[in-house]
Amino acid sequence: MRKLRLVLLLVAAHLNLTALVPLLPGDPPPPWWVGGMLFWPFSVQTRTLIQGDLLGTLTPLLSISAAILFLMAAAALLRRFVPESWFQWLVVAGAVCSIVLQVIWFSGWAIFPLLVDAAVLWTVFSQPVTLRSLRA
């Protein structure tokens, strides 16, 4: 179960970082062997919830924040550089940033990242989760 949680955290971080480099108009979708649009859900042609400078400011802010928080949670899970007591808060904060980002850029391709966020949150709230229980 610990490995599944680690994979979910890494996939969640990846999905948020793809917002930094959205597909440009006319670009072909990523190849299927790297997940295609499923793992690269952002496109410049997507009709976003907000427009202009605010979008240009919020997208990198939310994207980088969510990715860093998920990677810090993964580091806590692996007992590297991050205190164990931060794990739940890092997961929740990362998921909140990610959900806000996906809602702003909502399209059919945003469903998978939202499902990943829901799965990450479920792993924290479904049962009392501590890092000791995850490592067992």
> What's the one-letter identity of residue 42?
F
Taking residues 62-91, report their average pLDDT. Answer: 91
Q: Look at residue 90 in the predicted model and tell me its pLDDT.
A: 94
The pair of three-digit structure tokens given for residue 13, joined into one six-digit string: 């971080």
Confidence of residue 126 (pLDDT cuts 50, 70, 90): confident
Q: Is residue 17 scored above 60 in pLDDT?
A: yes
Share of the chain above pLDDT 90, in %: 39
Nearest to 90 by CA among 115, 65, 114: 65
